[in-house]
Structure 1
Amino acid sequence: MGGGFRGRGYSRYRQYGCGRSHAGEYRPNKGPGGGFEGDCRGHRKSRYETSLLWGVTGSGKTEVYLNATEYARKSGKGVLVLVPEIALTPLLRQRFEQRFPGEIAILHSGLKPGERFDSWRRLLSGDLKIAIGPRSAIFAPVQNLGLIIVDEEHETSYKQDEPPPYYNARDTAVMRGHIESCPVVLGTATPSSESYQNARDGKYKMLRIPERVPGAELPAVRIVDMASEHEEQKNFSPFSNLLREKLVETISSGHRAMLLLNRRGYSSYLQCQDCGFIPTCDDCGIGLTYHSVDKTLRCHYCGHEERPSDKCPNCGNSEFLFRGRGTQRIEEELEELVPPEKIFRLDADTARWQGHAGVLAKYSKTQGAVLIGTQMIAKGHDFPDVSLVGVLNADIGLAIPDFRSGERIFQLLTQVSGRAGRSDIRGEVIIQTYRPDSAAVDFSVNGDVESFFEIELKAREELRYPPFGRMLRVIIRGEDPSEVRTSIFRLTRELARIDREGNKYRLLGPASCPLTKLRGKYRWHLLLKTERLGTSVTIVKRLLSNMGGDIDFKLIVDPIT
């Protein structure tokens, strides 16, 4: 799948080469006529083109964004830059402000309404020329738009599911570029399956950066089989013996470490020691997560909070077991190895209380520090002296009944591995897993995107899953579980009757949603695999409009979960 494919992008990277700037920073050269900047000369001709900028972690993609933006600005054009999360805007803003002072507008929901209005107004008037923000910034009124950049284009957070309107900001960026006749750059170290296939098919131009900037090597990655760790070493702590040893060694040397556990809170749920009762959310029907900081039980879906009961409401027992580990519990257990003042945690809870930037600033100023976090630590952050990254449980998410789960885990592991060794110190990554034979885990060791997709895309093509077909997810919701179930089965029968030959779509389901109840409403869903998306949407909408009853529905095109 790959010789010519890799060679095409690699040769383009070689055209603009890599050299040291006057400030002592390694960055891609901006030689006239070569490399990405040369490929983006459609600015002057107002030419649409989408390029997939695929560069390994630490290869200097941000510098390429800056060089391309500089070219656009010299041509009198405006620029729109998308990031997957609000947390990544401060770092990118700092880099862009250094190069383009006084031209940057920031747009995201974390700003006060007046601040957002002012940024919007100044973009609309042409006073500011560059907009940076998460997915909603795709609608920013950048004047004379000459370049759109989507950083970490593979991230699922670009998909807007709630509230309406429903859209994928990456795909919307491509369409906006087409409408406004300007180039679009999709940057990533781990392409999404859709962008990867579009590049293979020639719909997107492929630009490869296969190596890190000079002076930085990709980290060495080691896999620890936690099943063997339990059976042979009798070690039942969250830290394998290897990770424990490397943590102590790293901190003692004054370098920094990062630990990934994609589960916040202290414990996944509480369980009565006698009868097995588990406190659940009345509105969502799932176990409440225990948070030790404020001693509350929380639903991570609807936001419901309550104090844990002193006694089991089922049997009266006062002893509860803490099941599973979250980032708060890891923080507590890590204090056996690392001084508390050197431990920092970044998840949705600390981000809300202290702010992303506040946590990261303290971490960056503390020698021999450890940062524990969820997936928000896996992308975009650049700390030169992080020499160790540990993934505490690489299997979270693999068991989800979703054809994209392997792709997401591969991307997450590859991205977090890339946080290590971003200087002259070669980093080390330790991935703990109970499934070392998983393709997602195995190929992430070397960040081998091509080999992973060779297997993944072959399976998807046989089953006509995206990117080889389109999908439509229909969710029916209501307060009466019987009415919801009856309605989804009625819809399924009508769809099967209309297309008996399967020429328009193929039906999968119906079934109750993995999260059966959400915010007080019961949910069932149905999937349609189709190559005639417009026709399928029209048919489904017509049938649902005649359904009646006390239900509502939601249609999701190309769902990502």
Structure 2
Amino acid sequence: MQLVRVALALPLMRLFDYLLPAGQRRPPLGARVRVPFGRQQKIGILVDFPAVSEVEPSQLKQLSVVLDQQSLFATEMWHMLNWAAGYYQAPLGEVLFSALPSRLRRGESAAEQTKILWKITALGRQALSGGELSRMKKQQEALQALCQAPLEKGNNTFATSIWAKLKSKDWVQEVIEEADIIPWHQSAANIVNPGERLSLNKQQALALSQLIFHQGFAAWLLEGVTGSGKTEIYLQLIEETLKKGCQVLVLVPEIGLTPQTLQRFRARFSLPVDALHSELNDTQRLQVWQRARSGQSAIVIGTRSALFTPFERLGLIVIDEEHDPSFKQQEGGWRYHARDLAVLYAKQQNIPVLMGSATPSLESLHNVARGKYRHLVLSQRAGSGSRLSHQLIDLKGRLVHKGLSETLLRKMGEHLEKGNQVLLFLNRRGFAPVLLCHECGWMASCPHCDKTYTYYHHQRILRCHHCGGQHRVPMQCRDCGSTHLITTGLGTEQLEEMLSSRFPQFGITRIDRDTTARKGHLEQHLSDIRQGKSRILIGTQMLAKGHHFPDVTLVALVNVDSALFSLDFRAEERLAQLYVQVAGRAGRAGKPGEVILQTHYPEHPLLQLLLQQGYPAFARQALLQRQSMGLPPFSAQALFHARSRNEADGEKMLQQLADYFLQSKREKNISGLEVLGPMPAPLAKKSDQFRWQLLLQHPSKGVLQHLLTDFQSHFEPKFSSVRWSLDVDPLDLS
């Protein structure tokens, strides 16, 4: 009997052997199979046909069903995922399954199926025009939607009960539609909608010509100041790629940028453009996967997991805001970096990958210096973009109104009176980060995380931003009984309240996770801003990047001092990137732009370097500092996380790991290996779990990889009460 080796979606660094039933046709690698696992039946992915098994032949079970007659993974994708599992030290089953839509993970068919559509009947049109639906708003909306186009059953925004009522009245009917697979290049009459292409300046034209005339693989880093027209270069390069009959993948860092990017691409190209992000349901995600695989999609735009989309003929990968940490999977599952894997994938496909940013990551700039990436620079704002003036406001000794200096408030008034918009950046949600007792100093803290609650004034609640727990505001101090409870610190909600009273004549929009939690709210807020209904914009990082607000002429960063003295060695890089990204929202339509940063430390070297010489000078200095200290990108790191309800167990388990690596260092004479910890995580307790860390660092990625691979093969932690994970090339040390 034929042996088969199967990867299961389990957090185990092992594969499982089964027998292929007699007479069963040998399935291809990458096909799904259903196998017995204990008392269950599980979906697995076929990864090998071994000659022998470590398990006794008499104990091997037969696989139950072969679900696919062809692999779900193209050759290049298969190689990339297998390499990634090894590099990121992740179970192969978890890696392979994470690359599939949820419905395929559950064993459903990968083939495009017939669809059942709702269509309006003649009676339905009569009812709609006759006014019978005046009191049945949802039914009326459903029929109106059907007048525009049929809707797919089970995949629309209307409740099942609505369709049942409409069907019982014979106002709608179900119609079966066969899957019609037509590759995009066979159905497209034109690629670009007329009048959409913009003219390029000399810098843009030179950059585009280099991109177009290079053949095959190249990793391009497009560094352009905000407003320099990077997106227009993306679009014109995509147009050239589409003319060759190839598809394009565009990666964006966050879901908030997806709708506007999608809108811009659909306005530009008269082709099928699909989006992949977390707000799609399982059916929609599978449909995009199928459409790209069969060649029906010309362009797919998505967040980091969109990298695993199969394409019939991929010709280009574009990564916008390549520096953004959102491209790194930070929690849950395997912790890959989509940008780094995209470069590997493009090389395997022999196609270009274009990475754009106004503030490239130090890793990418280091790769430019090593000759791994090709560098393109746009130093001028495109079109009517204006140069910005920058100003530091020293807060020491000044009168401050809810975090805003009188100088800033006066500047805001001047810009608003001219009919312009003002953007205030504050990366802290809620009304205030701390509620405390004025008598004894007690602070309202989350018992599950040992962190202070954030106070929300309008809802009168305390909320933990780490575990999500919330409570009503207490009437008195838990320690001394005093009723004199006060807030300290500033949040976006409090800033909005203060500005509403200071500038009552101007509309205000606040954009943070709290105001955009419901579907469609972010789009509505952005629409209000663009229509001029809101003149004062308050936001967290959601507003910092990718948005084009032509009437914003003043941008202010309210409070960034905490980042200047962080223990995280990447904090200064992130602050510099944030400053440039936020500042880039001003002066984008010919109007003079002004940027103000409030600080108690105006003499700080980082701030002085940024304002006087710009981000490139900061990046050069930061790379020199990293090199002198032996920090990434001049070394490789791996971070072990451990968490347990027992405070001592996580530390003890990581101490076992530390002892193992220190022993390996001695036995194998590994010079340069640093074993740091175990130590409490910066957030030492979260959701009743105590958190510990162990950091490994070595100048060579290869040496560290070899060490980690040996560890996975030979070491088994002895603490069942501890959950642990490994993060290779960590970006977040919290």
On whether the aligned pair clears a TM of 0.5, the verdict is yes
CA contact (8 A) 2:610 2:617 kept: no
Moved more, 501-510 or 351-360: 501-510
Query: What is the 5 A alignment of 1:137-536?
Result: 137-227=306-396, 231=397, 233-235=398-400, 237-339=402-504, 342-353=507-518, 355-366=521-532, 369-446=535-612, 448-500=614-666, 501-503=669-671, 505-530=673-698, 531=700, 532-536=703-707
Aligned CA distance change for structure 1 residues 24 and 560 (closer, same or farther; 3 Å): closer
Q: Secondary structure at the match of 2:360?
A: coil
C-alpha displacement of 1:100: 1.5
Counterpart of 2:712 in 1: which secondary structure? helix
- Name the aligned partner's letter for residue 706 of structure 2: T
1:538 to 709, 723, 728: 709
- Rg larger for: 2
Please give the per-residue CA displacement for 1:383-427, whole angstroms capped at 9, x wherever unaligned.
112110011012243333111000000000011111100111110
Give the deviation of 1:432 after TM superposition: 0.6
Quote how far apart the aligned CAs of 1:490 are. Answer: 3.1
Corresponding residue for 2:302?
Answer: 133
CA–CA distance in 1 between the matches of 2:704 and 2:242? 39
Number of equivalenced pairs: 533
- State how far apart, in whole Å, the 2-side matches of 1:118 and 1:93 are: 17
Matched residue, 1:92: 261
Q: Can you give the 5+ residue segments of structure 2 that lack an aligned partner in the other structure?
A: 1-193
| Structure 1 CA distance for aligned equivalents of residues 472 and 311 of structure 2 | 47
SS of residue paired to 1:522 = strand
AA matched with 1:534: Q
Are the structure 2 counterparts of residues 374 and 30 from structure 1 closer, same or farther at C-alpha, using a change threshold of 3 Å?
A: closer
Map of 2:93 onto structure 1? none
Q: Tell me which residue corresponds to 1:555.
A: 726
* CA shift in 2, pair 1:94/1:409, >3 Å: same
2-side partners of 1:86 and 1:372: how far apart? Answer: 19
- Contact preservation (8 Å) 1:394, 1:413: no
Superposed displacement of residue 289, structure 1 = 0.9
User: CA offset at residue 555 of structure 1?
Assistant: 0.8
What is the Cα-based RMSD across aligned positions, in Å?
2.2
In the TM superposition, what whole-angstrom CA distance separates every residue of 1:321-357 from its partner, at most 9, and x where no partner exists? 1121110011011123222751110001111146221
1:80 alignment counterpart: 249
- Helix, strand or coil: the match of 2:596? strand
Query: In the aligned structure 2, how far is the partner of 1:409 from the partner of 1:191?
Result: 13
TM score, norm. by length of structure 1 = 0.90
Equivalent residue number for residue 138 of structure 2: none
Distance 1:40 1:540, change over 3 A: farther
Partners of 2:288 and 2:225 lie apart in 1 by: 33
Alignment CA distance shift 1:446-1:22 (3 Å) = farther
Contact persistence 1:254–1:367 (CA under 8 A): no
Once the two structures are superposed, the pairs formed by residues 46-57 of structure 1 within 5 Å of their partners are: 47-57=216-226
Structure 1, unaligned stretches of length 5 or more? 1-20
Kept in 2, the 8 Å contact 1:387–1:421? The answer is yes
Change (3 A) 1:439 1:540: farther
Q: What amino acid is aligned across from residue 39 of structure 1 in structure 2?
A: L
2: distance between equivalents of 1:447 and 1:374?
26
Q: Which has the higher contact order (CA 8 A, sep 6+)?
A: 1
CA distance in 1, matches of 2:680, 2:714: 20
CA distances 1:528-557 after superposition (whole Å, capped 9, x unpaired): 112122123224435652433421211111
Give the Cα–Cα distance (whole angstroms) in 1 for the partners of residues 685 and 250 of structure 2: 37
Counterpart residue number, 1:10: none
Report the TM-score when normalising by structure 2.
0.70
Q: 1:93 to 1:410 in 2, by over 3 A?
A: same
Deviates more, 1:327-336 or 1:487-496: 487-496
Alpha-carbon shift at residue 309 of structure 1 (Å): 1.9
Q: 2:605 is matched by which residue type in structure 1?
A: A
Q: Residues of 1 paired with 2:572 and 2:314: CA distance?
A: 36
State whether residues 159 and 167 of structure 1, in contact with CA within 8 Å, keep that contact through their aligned partners in structure 2. yes
Q: Distance in 2 between matches of 1:24 and 1:546?
A: 59
| Secondary structure of 2:501's aligned partner | coil
Query: 1 CA distance for matches of 2:220 and 2:333?
Result: 29
Displacement after TM superposition at 1:37 (Å): 4.3
The separation in 2 between residues aligned to 1:178 and 1:218, in whole angstroms, is 38
With over 3 angstroms needed to count, the CA separation of the structure-2 counterparts of 1:317 and 1:538, relative to structure 1, is same
| d(CA) in 1 for partners of 2:336, 2:209 | 29
Distance 2:458 2:281 in 1: 28
| Deviation readout 1:456-486 (Å, 9 max, x if unpaired) | 1111112221111111111121111112222
1:60 counterpart letter in structure 2: G
- Percent of aligned positions that are identical: 36
- Counterpart of 2:287 in structure 1 is 118
Secondary structure at the counterpart of residue 477 of structure 1: strand
Show the counterpart of 1:17.
Answer: none
Secondary structure of residue in 2 paired with 1:197: helix
Distance 1:319 1:185 in 2: 57
SS in 2 for 1:147: strand
Candidates 252, 261, 271, aligned match of 1:102:
271
Residue 3 of structure 1: aligned partner: none
Note if contact 1:390-1:430 (Cα within 8 Å) is conserved in structure 2. yes
C-alpha distance in structure 2 between counterparts of 1:452 and 1:109, whole Å:
35
TM-aligned CA distance change 1:490 to 1:22, over 3 Å: closer
